[in-house]
Amino acid sequence: MTDARLSDFPVDDLISREALADERGLGDVVRQVIFGRISTQVAFFVVVVFIVVAILAPWIAPYDPVRQSILQINKHPSWDHWLGTDQFGRDVLSRMIHGSRNSLIFGLLSPVFAAFFGTILGVSAGYFGGIVDRLISRIVDMLMAFPELLLAILIAAALGGSFWNIVVVLTVAFTPGFARVARASTLAVKQEPYIEAAVAAGVSTPLIIFRHIVPNIAAPIVVLMTLWSASSIRIEATLSFLGIGTQPPNPSWGNIIRDGLSNMFATQWPIVAGGLAITIVVLAISILGDSVRDVLDPETAR
């Protein structure tokens, strides 16, 4: 029957180098994100600065963040203490610098974990439907019914407030949100003719999910991730504020604000510094998230 084979069909062997070089790799995506809009460049710069500061904390902090000094309590900013000192005479700038480690790790780690688990759950529920969907969706609903802060407090109270416990707490608290978004997006994408076309081309179910569905629902997940990393820093701050997050005397932005609040009539600088740092990082991450979403979508990327 089919006498003609595709290999018989004349092809010039030349594959143009340009065509090969033109493909958009991960590097290009990253470059497009960073060198996109001015606001994105600024946001990227801000995030990088904060990360560098967090990494270099022990070397650049001018003082030991937990060393107290009765002679130096409640100082306003000076050349010796750029952000002043708190009620125990600890240098606020040093505490902020060391605190950025805890806050940023919580801010970035939990949303990434939650996005990972949430996407798996959501895509499974959306794609397979039926009993899988009902099971996952009900569990997600149950978790969603708790405000994430309450859930976090509950788990932290039960497990105690160690570093990994808080990461676990926040991951569990955020996973339902990701699962729900992933499920809804999967339901929408599943209806697209290109999914049916892929099935008709003989693509197997795992490949359909990883090559055709996950990339197409990535945009909302990434946006949610940046949104939650902001919330994560905030919730860690709240947990620390409530005394179940980062344990004193170790600093985090959250417990710097807590300590500052009880002492705000003596010196306002710890609250101002902590609040500003959280605001700036959260804003920068959100702007980056928007930009990542735009670049991931080829229609808006050009």
Q: How far is the CB of 16 from another protein (least distance, A)?
A: 4
Cα-Cα-Cα-Cα dihedral sign, residues 155, 157, 158, 163: positive
Query: Considering beta carbons, is residue 14 or 71 the nearer one to another protein?
Result: 14
The values of phi and psi at residue 113, to 5°, are -60, -45
Query: Considering beta carbons, is residue 29 or 283 the nearer one to another protein?
Result: 29
Type of residue found at 234: R
Q: How far is the CB of 69 from another protein (least distance, A)?
A: 57
Could you write out the DSSP letters of every residue in 177-230?
HHHHHHHHHHHHHHTSHHHHHHHHTT--HHHIIIIIIHHHHHHHHHHHHHHHHH
In angstroms, rounded to a whole number, what is the distance separating the alpha carbons of residues 111 and 99? 19
Name the site residues for another protein (rule: CB under 8 A): 1-7, 9-16, 18-19, 22-24, 192-194, 196-204, 207, 211-212, 215-216, 296-299
Query: Considering beta carbons, is residue 23 or 158 the nearer one to another protein?
Result: 23
Of 173, 174, 132, 131, nearest in space to 150 by CA: 173
Q: How far is the CB of 197 from another protein (least distance, A)?
A: 4
Q: How far is the CB of 139 from another protein (least distance, A)?
A: 24
Query: Considering beta carbons, is residue 46 or 198 the nearer one to another protein?
Result: 198
Query: Considering beta carbons, is residue 24 or 76 the nearer one to another protein?
Result: 24
Q: Which residues touch 58 (CB under 8 Å, ≥6 apart)? A: 98
Side-chain half-sphere CA neighbours of 200 within 13 A: 6
The angle formed by the CA atoms of residues 95, 100 and 103, to the nearest 5 degrees, is: 120
Of 171, 141, 176, nearest in space to 155 by CA: 171
Query: Considering beta carbons, is residue 158 or 193 the nearer one to another protein?
Result: 193
Q: How far is the CB of 22 from another protein (least distance, A)?
A: 4
Q: How far is the CB of 228 from another protein (least distance, A)?
A: 23
